[in-house]
Amino acid sequence: MSLEVQITIIGGGVIGCAVAYELSRDSGKDIVVVEKNRQIKGENQSSRNSGVIHAGIYYPKKVEPLKAKLCMEGNEMLYRFCAEHNIPNKKTGKLLVATDLLEEEYLEDVYKTAVENQVPGIEMIDGNKVTQYEPNVKAVSALYVPSSGIIESTSLVDKLYRLAESYGAMFLVGNEVFKIEPEGKGFKVKIRSGTEVEIFKTRIIINAAGLYSDDIARMVNPESPYRMDPVKGESAKFYKTKREDIFMNGLNVYPVPFGYLPPDGERLRVPFGEFQKQFNQGKVNRSAGVHLSPTFEKRGKEYIIGDTVTMGPAYSKPKDREDYSQVREEDYYLDMVRSFFPGLKLEDISLHQAGIRARLKNYYDFVIERDPEYPNLINLVGIDSPGLTASLAIARYVSELLRR
Ligand SMILES: Cc1cc2nc3c(=O)[nH]c(=O)nc-3n(C[C@H](O)[C@H](O)[C@H](O)COP(=O)(O)OP(=O)(O)OC[C@H]3O[C@@H](n4cnc5c(N)ncnc54)[C@H](O)[C@@H]3O)c2cc1C
């Protein structure tokens, strides 16, 4: 490896790979991606998520302007990319359901945001129309969102990685960045693989280190204000063909977003105004809720949408950023969905997997910016949901930031 490179990307999750793809495909730039896992597609957020292509209905422009913009742009870019490169995906559509008057206030709030963000094709529908889409889902009203879908996320990461590599980006897999020293306008980067240490210089660093991106930002600038407050999202599953009353046609079905109390994630059932007050005071967190989503399964070499319906995420506080243990039990999932999916029984449910979100403390939007002291460091911090959906738009945003 050359002792000096133009651009170093730290992290080979979907964001690092998308940025490597975007920057390498027409530039001939000298790009290195450093990934501490032994393989791309290793344990990280990009391999342990719900695989939902979000439509952009949740992010008010005032509070989360980057999430609103990049989710909307990313949604379209992702469907196009998947079609071009044969990535398993489906525009399933989504129902966001309210089961009583209290939940309708929350639904109304999401609807306003969706209208403001100009999410295409959305429609408020009544309970009868809901059952036309999904016969076993019970609701008084719902928001129908046609541009929501699902994707097999590891296939996306793999394709971005392979394309970037074919355009000349170099991937140093199984290497951890453990020290960065600013030097002139660039940086000296120290990486290790087991006991072997290598040092190289780079002009630009793009910090796409997911759950560790706040640490990387502070490695360069100890004054960096961002702090990770990771949250665990666990999921369970059931088989929709087990009984007629749990069959689903294949839409994403979500409850209205609600408040949950830290640290154990207990749901808050209060009028919307009260929730908003407590949320603004930082007393409760907001969750998209335990939803039902069709799931890709591998059959031979192909991915198909099988009979499995994934339920999640159920939030809890992880012990650390690698704590993938499952603390939620089957009855929790049943409790969370029984109001809108009454046919499900405890014995239908089995536990699935856990992932950890790179959520920031007291900050809700994505952070994508140059470090104020060391402008050749571009930090991507707090890239939690909808980071998968927004990945290609985030990569384009970074490329534009580099040109400014
Ligand atoms: C439970 C859950 C459900 C989600 N559901 C959805 C969803 O349905 N739709 C959606 O759009 N988004 C979803 N997300 C969010 C989405 O998965 C993330 O936003 C996205 O995967 C972030 O990608 P990333 O590349 O930034 O981070 P990661 O995938 O975590 O990758 C970061 C990489 O950096 C590497 N790294 C860290 N430190 C170093 C170091 N010092 N040196 C070298 N390498 C390092 C790590 O090993 C890791 O591979 C979900 C996330 C979770 C956890």
In the reported structure, the alpha carbon of residue 262 is separated from the centroid of ligand 1 by a whole-number distance in angstroms of 22
- Which of 150, 141, 149 lies closest to 123 in space, CA to CA? 141
Mutation pick for ligand 1 pocket among 58, 378, 388 (CB with most ligand atoms within 8 Å):
388
Pick the CATH number of 4-47+155-227+363-403 from 3.40.50.300, 3.40.190.10, 3.50.50.60, 3.40.50.1100: 3.50.50.60
CATH 3.30.9.10 intervals, the chain: 94-146+231-357
Q: Whose CA is nearest to atom 37 of ligand 1?
A: 209
CATH 3.50.50.60 intervals, the chain: 4-47+155-227+363-403
- For the segment 173-204, what is each residue's pLDDT rounded down to a tens digit? 999 999 999 999 999 999 999 999 999 999 99
Topology of the domain comprising 94-146+231-357: D-Amino Acid Oxidase; Chain A, domain 2 (3.30.9)
Please report the atom of ligand 1 found closest to the CA of residue 388: 11
Q: Whose CA is nearest to atom 39 of ligand 1?
A: 209
pLDDT band, residue 29 (cuts 50/70/90): confident
Written as one letter, the residue type at 172 is: L
- For the segment 280-339, what is each residue's pLDDT rounded down to a tens digit? 888 898 889 999 999 999 999 899 999 999 999 998 889 999 999 999 999 999 999 999
- b vs e for 336-361, b when ≥16 Cβ sit within 10 Å of the residue's Cβ? bbeebbeebeeebbebbbbbbbbbbe
- b vs e for 170-192, b when ≥16 Cβ sit within 10 Å of the residue's Cβ? bbbbbbbbeebebeeebbebebe
In the reported structure, the alpha carbon of residue 100 is separated from the centroid of ligand 1 by a whole-number distance in angstroms of 35
Rounded Cα distance between 269 and 258, Å, is 8
In the reported structure, the alpha carbon of residue 229 is separated from the centroid of ligand 1 by a whole-number distance in angstroms of 14
Please report the atom of ligand 1 found closest to the CA of residue 74: 11
Q: What pTM was estimated for this model as a whole?
A: 0.97
- For the segment 361-399, what is each residue's pLDDT rounded down to a tens digit? 989 999 999 999 999 999 999 999 999 999 999 999 999
